[in-house]
Homo-oligomer: A and B are copies of this chain.
Amino acid sequence: MAKLIYDNTKNRDVFYAVKMDIVDPFFLIDLGVKKYVFLDHREFGLFQERNKNQNIEVQLLNPLVQEAAKLSLSKDNLQNLAWYLLQKYELLGEIITVPNNFPLLLADFLRSKGVKLVPQIHLYPERASKTPDEAEAIRSSVQKTEKAFALIEKILRESVIKGNSIFYSGAILTSEFLKKEVERLLFEEDMISEEGIIISSGLQTAIPHHPGKGAIKPHEPIVCDIFPKSRATRYFADVTRTFVKGTPTEELRKMYEAVRKAQKEGIEAVAPGKKASDIHKICAEILLDAGYDVGDKGFIHNTGHGVGLEVHEEPRLGERVEYELVPGNVITIEPGLYYPEIGGIRIEDDILVTKDGFENFTTFPKDKWIIP
């Protein structure tokens, strides 16, 4: 079925279709075998130069806009253009798939002219199953990201506890300092953490997405969730480790071991044909069995998600997700426990679903989490 898109490549479905970053929205018609892209002078020549896919044809937008304006169907040239392109490619009578975020004004106009539009949430569901090249790109991103954990561990090891503070190189160790060090390392690895990173400590860690600020607390959890993408390939990694500098309470040790066990068994359950919800249930049950809560406290989020051109993408590993894993999925397995009065623990690896089971891209150890 023909697809009609009008968006920029921040929409990663659009990037996936054209494999090039384009800042402003543009029209893309995807006929399956063949794709047509319409760009103005700012990118037309660049696309011609860069495009390696014989089945993508780029056309200069400007003369088409002029032709379309002559239609005078609408005061809005974008609407004229959309209709003109559908006419040009003999799609006016067809059912057209559009992204779920397709411009509503444009959808209303096209439908008022009788065009049949069917919105689809995942325009390229095949994105959930990575090609070997895509999997390799994610593996490489994971490897680079793991260097950041080695750096954090090193800094924590070289730090000293005085009273209720941690000192590194004579200054109080902060989330801000650690994040800057990590981002500098990632920068040199040609990785970019567009959406920031999480290095939180103390009770901040009870909020999974708390980015962390201020002094790193001794004897309390330090949650490091690092999810940068490669500038070269655009593929993300998403890895979390929890550290403690000093001596964790027995309560915290027990929590850590429960999360670690849940994560281990969650990972080992990964295989083609396995339901996303089943992986989630395995993790949830281990945590319940260990005496923790699932839902409104304790384990308060999904077990994981796909990772690729977006840090969160399909498939989601949640309670009600019927999706069955297939070879090529790259998913995070990241159970966690969160209590406002204790803090949070999360451990997250990136896992490739293989023909026979799984391969864990993440090698950073989980047993050296307590740093004296």
Contacts and interface: CB of A to CB of B under 8 A. Distances in A.
Give the interface size bracket for A toward B.
35 or more
Interface stretch (A99-107, A157-165, A348-356): A99-107
A41 B294 CA distance: 12
Nearest to A301: B42
A282 interface: no
Nearest to A231: B196
A119 B105 contact: yes
Nearest to A100: B103
A198 to B, nearest CB: 10
A353 B138 CA distance: 45
Contact of A210 (B40, B46, B209): B46
Interface in A9-65: 10, 21-24, 40-46, 49, 62
A183 interface: yes
A230 to B, nearest CB: 13
Interface string A174-196: 00000000011001000010111
A45 B119 contact: no
Interface of A: 10, 21-24, 40-46, 49, 62, 98-105, 107-108, 117, 119, 121, 183-184, 187, 192, 194-196, 206-211, 231, 295-296, 300-301, 311-312, 338, 340
